[in-house]
């Protein structure tokens, strides 16, 4: 059977538009819960999730997993723009400590109190599965108010 479907026409500048979108998403993911919440974290004498990872891991070694995921809950006002944070409430990935491979997660209290959502849990499970396959240890940096009840996570 011959495929007669034509490939999609891609605009000449669409590559740049995609890169621009990716850059915007990356910048949003690095902001966590935003400047106001980051300032409150610092005023309380606490580091952010990313700052803790920067202190733990060898410089330049961190590789982030799933930095662009957003929770899927649409009930209880969770579909409001101020409730959608790129990367959700946990930063996951791998890096090295003294040259040794480790997998890490760092809960981000600036995003909904670091509460555990469905995608938050999926990110941690994915990272743990990768660690098991490589035999590397997992380091978890906890800073959470618990489960996100709006999603029914228990």
pLDDT at residue 135 in the model: 98
- The token pair at 54 is 């920067």
What is the model's pTM? 0.76
Check residues 120 and 64 and name the one with the higher pLDDT. Answer: 64
| Strands (E) located in the chain | 63-65, 90-97, 100-107, 138-141
C-alpha 74/C-alpha 25 separation (Å) is 20
Whether domain 14-151 has CATH 3.90.226.10? yes
**pLDDT tens-digit series, residues 4-62:** 555 555 555 566 888 887 777 777 777 877 899 899 999 999 999 999 999 999 999 99
End-to-end Cα, the chain, rounded Å: 50
Each residue of 66-124: pLDDT tens digit? 877 776 665 555 566 555 666 788 999 999 999 999 999 999 998 877 777 888 889 99
The answer to which of 65-74, 84-93, 124-133, 134-143 has the lowest mean pLDDT is 65-74
């Amino acid at each position: 059977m011959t495929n007669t479907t034509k490939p999609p026409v891609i605009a000449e500048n669409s590559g740049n538009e995609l890169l621009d979108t990716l850059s915007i998403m990356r910048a949003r993911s690095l902001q966590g819960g935003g400047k106001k919440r980051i300032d409150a974290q610092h005023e309380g004498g606490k580091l952010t999730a990313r700052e803790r990872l920067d202190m733990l891991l060898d410089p330049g070694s961190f590789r982030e997993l799933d930095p662009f995921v957003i929770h899927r809950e649409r009930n209880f006002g969770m579909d409001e723009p101020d409730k959608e944070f790129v990367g959700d409430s946990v930063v996951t990935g791998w890096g090295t400590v003294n040259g040794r491979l480790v997998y890490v997660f760092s809960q981000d209290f600036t995003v909904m109190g670091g509460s555990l959502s469905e995608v938050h849990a999926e990110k941690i499970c994915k990272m743990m599965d990768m660690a098991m396959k490589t035999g590397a240890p997992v380091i978890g940096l906890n800073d959470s108010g618990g489960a996100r009840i709006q999603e029914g996570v228990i």
